[in-house]
Amino acid sequence: MARPREFDVQKVLQAAQETFWEQGYEATSLDDLVRRMGVQRASLYATFGDKRALFLAALKRYEADSLAALRTALAGARSPRRAIRELFEGFVDGVCANGATRGCLCVNTTVELAPHDPEIATELKRHGRQVEAVLADAVKRGIKAGEFSRRLDPKAVARFLTNATLGLAVKAKMAPGRRVLNQIVTSTLSVLDS
Protein backbone atom coordinates (compact mmCIF):
# COMPACT_ATOMS: atom_id res chain seq x y z
CA MET A 1 0.00 0.00 0.00
CA ALA A 2 1.37 3.41 -1.02
CA ARG A 3 2.06 5.97 1.66
CA PRO A 4 -0.14 9.05 1.49
CA ARG A 5 1.57 12.29 0.49
CA GLU A 6 2.67 14.35 3.45
CA PHE A 7 2.66 17.66 1.59
CA ASP A 8 0.35 19.91 -0.38
CA VAL A 9 1.17 19.34 -4.07
CA GLN A 10 0.04 22.83 -5.11
CA LYS A 11 2.09 24.46 -2.37
CA VAL A 12 5.30 22.65 -3.33
CA LEU A 13 4.60 23.27 -7.02
CA GLN A 14 4.33 26.99 -6.22
CA ALA A 15 7.71 26.80 -4.48
CA ALA A 16 9.23 25.09 -7.52
CA GLN A 17 7.69 27.71 -9.81
CA GLU A 18 9.20 30.52 -7.73
CA THR A 19 12.60 28.85 -7.78
CA PHE A 20 12.62 28.35 -11.55
CA TRP A 21 11.30 31.89 -12.05
CA GLU A 22 14.05 33.43 -9.93
CA GLN A 23 16.97 31.30 -11.11
CA GLY A 24 16.02 29.89 -14.52
CA TYR A 25 15.79 26.24 -15.48
CA GLU A 26 19.46 25.46 -16.05
CA ALA A 27 20.69 27.31 -12.94
CA THR A 28 18.22 25.51 -10.66
CA SER A 29 19.60 22.33 -9.17
CA LEU A 30 17.64 19.47 -7.65
CA ASP A 31 19.13 20.45 -4.29
CA ASP A 32 17.69 23.99 -4.77
CA LEU A 33 14.29 22.51 -5.51
CA VAL A 34 14.30 20.03 -2.62
CA ARG A 35 15.37 22.74 -0.19
CA ARG A 36 12.81 25.31 -1.43
CA MET A 37 9.94 22.84 -1.80
CA GLY A 38 10.57 21.23 1.58
CA VAL A 39 10.25 17.69 0.22
CA GLN A 40 12.58 14.74 -0.05
CA ARG A 41 14.17 13.99 -3.41
CA ALA A 42 12.31 10.66 -3.61
CA SER A 43 8.98 12.44 -3.03
CA LEU A 44 9.80 14.94 -5.76
CA TYR A 45 10.50 12.13 -8.24
CA ALA A 46 7.45 10.11 -7.15
CA THR A 47 5.10 13.07 -7.49
CA PHE A 48 6.44 15.01 -10.46
CA GLY A 49 8.97 12.78 -12.21
CA ASP A 50 12.24 14.41 -13.19
CA LYS A 51 13.33 18.07 -13.08
CA ARG A 52 12.04 18.75 -16.58
CA ALA A 53 8.60 17.32 -15.81
CA LEU A 54 8.48 19.42 -12.64
CA PHE A 55 9.44 22.48 -14.66
CA LEU A 56 6.68 21.82 -17.21
CA ALA A 57 4.15 21.46 -14.40
CA ALA A 58 5.36 24.73 -12.84
CA LEU A 59 5.26 26.52 -16.21
CA LYS A 60 1.73 25.30 -16.94
CA ARG A 61 0.64 26.44 -13.47
CA TYR A 62 2.15 29.88 -14.11
CA GLU A 63 0.44 30.08 -17.51
CA ALA A 64 -2.92 29.06 -16.05
CA ASP A 65 -2.65 31.59 -13.22
CA SER A 66 -1.60 34.44 -15.51
CA LEU A 67 -4.31 33.62 -18.06
CA ALA A 68 -6.97 33.50 -15.31
CA ALA A 69 -5.79 36.88 -14.00
CA LEU A 70 -5.89 38.34 -17.51
CA ARG A 71 -9.42 37.02 -18.10
CA THR A 72 -10.57 38.38 -14.75
CA ALA A 73 -9.06 41.79 -15.47
CA LEU A 74 -10.54 42.10 -18.95
CA ALA A 75 -13.63 39.94 -19.29
CA GLY A 76 -16.05 41.71 -16.99
CA ALA A 77 -14.71 45.24 -17.32
CA ARG A 78 -17.22 47.92 -18.26
CA SER A 79 -14.48 49.86 -20.00
CA PRO A 80 -12.04 47.79 -22.06
CA ARG A 81 -9.81 50.88 -22.41
CA ARG A 82 -9.58 51.31 -18.66
CA ALA A 83 -9.12 47.58 -18.08
CA ILE A 84 -6.22 47.34 -20.53
CA ARG A 85 -4.59 50.45 -19.07
CA GLU A 86 -5.01 49.09 -15.52
CA LEU A 87 -3.51 45.79 -16.63
CA PHE A 88 -0.35 47.51 -17.85
CA GLU A 89 -0.21 49.92 -14.91
CA GLY A 90 -0.68 47.03 -12.48
CA PHE A 91 2.31 45.30 -14.01
CA VAL A 92 4.43 48.43 -13.57
CA ASP A 93 3.19 48.88 -9.99
CA GLY A 94 4.02 45.28 -9.15
CA VAL A 95 7.51 45.45 -10.58
CA CYS A 96 8.32 48.80 -8.97
CA ALA A 97 6.82 47.96 -5.57
CA ASN A 98 8.65 44.69 -5.15
CA GLY A 99 11.86 45.65 -6.89
CA ALA A 100 11.44 42.38 -8.76
CA THR A 101 13.78 41.86 -11.67
CA ARG A 102 12.78 38.33 -12.47
CA GLY A 103 10.52 39.37 -15.35
CA CYS A 104 7.99 36.90 -16.71
CA LEU A 105 8.49 33.14 -16.44
CA CYS A 106 7.12 32.65 -19.97
CA VAL A 107 9.47 35.24 -21.44
CA ASN A 108 12.43 33.84 -19.51
CA THR A 109 11.58 30.33 -20.71
CA THR A 110 11.16 31.51 -24.30
CA VAL A 111 14.70 32.88 -24.24
CA GLU A 112 16.32 30.08 -22.25
CA LEU A 113 14.62 26.89 -23.48
CA ALA A 114 12.26 27.36 -26.42
CA PRO A 115 14.98 27.67 -29.10
CA HIS A 116 16.15 24.10 -28.45
CA ASP A 117 13.12 22.44 -26.83
CA PRO A 118 10.23 21.93 -29.27
CA GLU A 119 7.79 20.75 -26.59
CA ILE A 120 8.32 23.86 -24.50
CA ALA A 121 8.18 26.07 -27.59
CA THR A 122 4.83 24.49 -28.52
CA GLU A 123 3.51 25.02 -24.99
CA LEU A 124 4.52 28.68 -25.01
CA LYS A 125 2.94 29.23 -28.44
CA ARG A 126 -0.31 27.67 -27.20
CA HIS A 127 -0.33 29.98 -24.20
CA GLY A 128 0.49 32.99 -26.38
CA ARG A 129 -2.49 32.25 -28.62
CA GLN A 130 -4.75 32.12 -25.57
CA VAL A 131 -3.45 35.47 -24.31
CA GLU A 132 -3.94 37.02 -27.75
CA ALA A 133 -7.52 35.70 -27.91
CA VAL A 134 -8.40 37.31 -24.56
CA LEU A 135 -6.84 40.61 -25.60
CA ALA A 136 -8.52 40.50 -29.04
CA ASP A 137 -11.89 40.03 -27.35
CA ALA A 138 -11.25 43.09 -25.17
CA VAL A 139 -10.27 45.13 -28.22
CA LYS A 140 -13.43 44.01 -30.05
CA ARG A 141 -15.54 45.08 -27.08
CA GLY A 142 -13.69 48.41 -26.97
CA ILE A 143 -14.37 49.01 -30.66
CA LYS A 144 -18.03 48.11 -30.24
CA ALA A 145 -18.29 50.47 -27.24
CA GLY A 146 -16.70 53.31 -29.22
CA GLU A 147 -13.63 53.42 -26.98
CA PHE A 148 -11.20 52.39 -29.73
CA SER A 149 -10.89 53.28 -33.39
CA ARG A 150 -13.04 51.19 -35.72
CA ARG A 151 -10.04 50.98 -38.06
CA LEU A 152 -8.24 48.64 -35.66
CA ASP A 153 -7.80 44.96 -36.43
CA PRO A 154 -8.47 43.27 -33.06
CA LYS A 155 -6.17 40.31 -33.76
CA ALA A 156 -3.30 42.51 -34.91
CA VAL A 157 -3.71 44.82 -31.91
CA ALA A 158 -3.84 41.82 -29.58
CA ARG A 159 -0.56 40.56 -31.04
CA PHE A 160 0.94 44.02 -30.62
CA LEU A 161 -0.21 44.27 -27.00
CA THR A 162 1.09 40.77 -26.28
CA ASN A 163 4.43 41.67 -27.80
CA ALA A 164 4.47 44.90 -25.81
CA THR A 165 3.87 43.06 -22.53
CA LEU A 166 6.71 40.67 -23.35
CA GLY A 167 9.02 43.59 -24.10
CA LEU A 168 7.92 45.35 -20.94
CA ALA A 169 8.74 42.21 -18.93
CA VAL A 170 12.23 42.14 -20.42
CA LYS A 171 12.75 45.85 -19.79
CA ALA A 172 11.54 45.45 -16.19
CA LYS A 173 14.32 42.89 -15.57
CA MET A 174 16.78 45.75 -16.07
CA ALA A 175 15.00 47.81 -13.36
CA PRO A 176 14.72 51.04 -15.38
CA GLY A 177 12.32 52.65 -12.90
CA ARG A 178 8.67 53.63 -12.87
CA ARG A 179 9.04 56.71 -15.10
CA VAL A 180 10.58 54.77 -18.00
CA LEU A 181 8.10 51.89 -17.71
CA ASN A 182 5.15 54.30 -17.59
CA GLN A 183 6.44 56.05 -20.73
CA ILE A 184 6.52 52.69 -22.49
CA VAL A 185 2.96 51.94 -21.34
CA THR A 186 1.68 55.32 -22.56
CA SER A 187 3.31 54.85 -25.97
CA THR A 188 2.05 51.29 -26.21
CA LEU A 189 -1.54 52.16 -25.41
CA SER A 190 -1.57 55.03 -27.91
CA VAL A 191 -2.05 52.40 -30.64
CA LEU A 192 -5.63 52.01 -29.43
CA ASP A 193 -6.41 55.49 -30.74
CA SER A 194 -4.98 54.88 -34.22
104-159 pLDDT per residue, tens = 899 999 999 999 999 999 999 999 999 999 999 999 999 999 999 999 999 999 99
Range of the domain at 148: 59-193
pLDDT digits (tens, 9 = 90+) for 66-83: 999 999 999 878 899 999
The yes-or-no verdict on residue 4 having pLDDT over 60 is no
| Number of separate domains in the chain | 1
**31: Cα separation from own chain's centroid:** 26
Question: Cα separations (Å) of 39 from 17, 51, 186?
Answer: 14, 14, 45
Question: Mean pLDDT throughout 53-57?
Answer: 97
Q: Among 75, 76, 87, 97, which residue's Cα sits nearest to residue 161?
A: 87
3-state secondary structure of 22: helix
144 or 172, greater pLDDT: 144
pLDDT at 91 over 90: no
Does some domain include residue 5? no
84 in a structural domain: yes
Q: Is residue 123 part of a domain?
A: yes
Q: Is residue 53 part of a domain?
A: no
Report yes or no on 24 lying in a domain: no
In this predicted structure, the answer to whether residue 25 has a pLDDT above a threshold of 90 is yes
| Of residues 20 and 193, more confidently modeled | 20
CATH number for the domain that contains residue 170: 1.10.357.10
Q: Given this model, what pLDDT does residue 98 score?
A: 65
Task: With respect to residue 54, please indicate whether it lies within any of the assigned structural domains.
Answer: no
**What pLDDT is attached to residue 5?**
57
Tell me whether residue 136 is in a domain: yes
Give the C-alpha separation, 98 to 169, whole Å: 14
DSSP letters along 69-116, please?
HHHHHHHT-S-HHHHHHHHHHHHHHHHHHHT-----HHHHHHHHTGGG
pLDDT single digits (tens) 135-149: 999 999 999 999 999
95 pLDDT tier (thresholds 50, 70, 90) = confident
